[in-house]
Amino acid sequence: MRLCFALLAALCGAPVLAAQLTLDLGHGNKTWQTSALLKHPQAQTLTIYHDVSYKRTMRYRAVPMAALLEGVSPDDHLQGVASDGFAAEMPAGPLLNSGPARAWLAIEDPAHPWPALGLSKASAGPFYLVWTDPQAGNISAEQWPYRLASIRRLAPVAERFPKMRPDPTLAADDPINQGFALFQKNCMACHRLNGAGDAQMGPDLNIPHSPTEYLSGDFLRYFIRDPQSLRQWPQAKMPGFDRQALPDADLDLLIGYLKHMAARRP
């Protein structure tokens, strides 16, 4: 117990240093320093209700993401990479919208550091992608990456990682392809599939086996809704996906994609 308090005290007392965010949007890298972002002409103080990471109302100094994504079109595909290896795949369209769901880059001011995310954890800074009115855009928790280090414009997932792609003969609106889109939105930040992907946090979801093969019946659904309800361990990091974040119909589509890919293992 004494060690825990010591760690917390050391963490809370550690100074927050200025940082930099790298943008690679296809026309050369641009680096933003903390000080420049805090002074950005579109920066404003923002109140975020029901913050996904802090689980409470938070106030940030933030800049609209659209103001930083120069030269990016709604059809482009972006990836936000965090300092801990979390890699969020993000269609550019929602990030460029002016509302009702609107994306912002929150900037941690070294003079006014954010609170820690938990015992012996750092804050969500130095840069954190937050949303106002996220429900209006069906924004999931995986679309709130924190500790951002870089944002890159990349080719679509199906082009970069063909081993993740469902049967190419399927129609674009086939339920399996709809499930693939949900996998990209909700799972790719932490998981690889068939050895493909940039994530470094969670296990591969098809090698050596798909979870649809070892979690039968409704157990896979229970696990996705509340991982700790089936398997508890101190280092567990996977969040649960409630029905607001992942409606039942979307969960069925996602599981359908995983079942389909179990037959497409290399």
Q: What is the pLDDT of residue 25?
A: 94
b/e sequence 57-70, b meaning 16+ C-beta within 10 Å:
ebebbbbbbbebbe
Segment 73-114, tens digit of pLDDT: 999 999 999 988 788 888 999 999 998 999 999 999 999 999
Q: Which CATH superfamily is domain 158-262 in?
A: Cupredoxins -  blue copper proteins (2.60.40.420)
Domain range annotation of the chain:
15-154, 158-262
How far, CA to CA in Å, does 208 sit from each of 122, 163, 188, 233? 34, 14, 17, 22
Task: Provide the pLDDT confidence category of residue 255 given band limits of 50, 70 and 90.
Answer: very high
Give the number of residues written for the chain.
266
Q: What is the pLDDT of residue 97?
A: 93
User: In whole numbers, what is the pLDDT of the chain averaged over residues?
Assistant: 88
* Residue 234 pLDDT > 70: no
Q: Are 126 and 107 in contact (CB under 8 A)?
A: yes
Give the chain as a 3 state SS string: CHHHHHHHHHHHHCCCCCCEEEEECCCCEEEEEHHHHHCCCCCEEEEECCCCCCCCCEEEEEEEHHHHCCCCCCCCEEEEEECCCCEEEEEHHHHHCCCCCEEEEEECECCECCCCCCCCCCCCCCEEEEEECHHHHCCCHHHCCECEEEEEEECCHHHHCHHHCCCCCCCCCCHHHHHHHHHHHHCCCCCCECCECCCCCCCCCCCCCCHHHHCCCCHHHHHHHCHHHCCCCCCCCCCCCCCCCCCHHHHHHHHHHHHHHHCCCC
CATH number of 15-154: 3.90.420.10
Segment 13-64, tens digit of pLDDT: 455 667 999 999 988 899 999 999 999 999 999 999 999 999 999 999 999 9
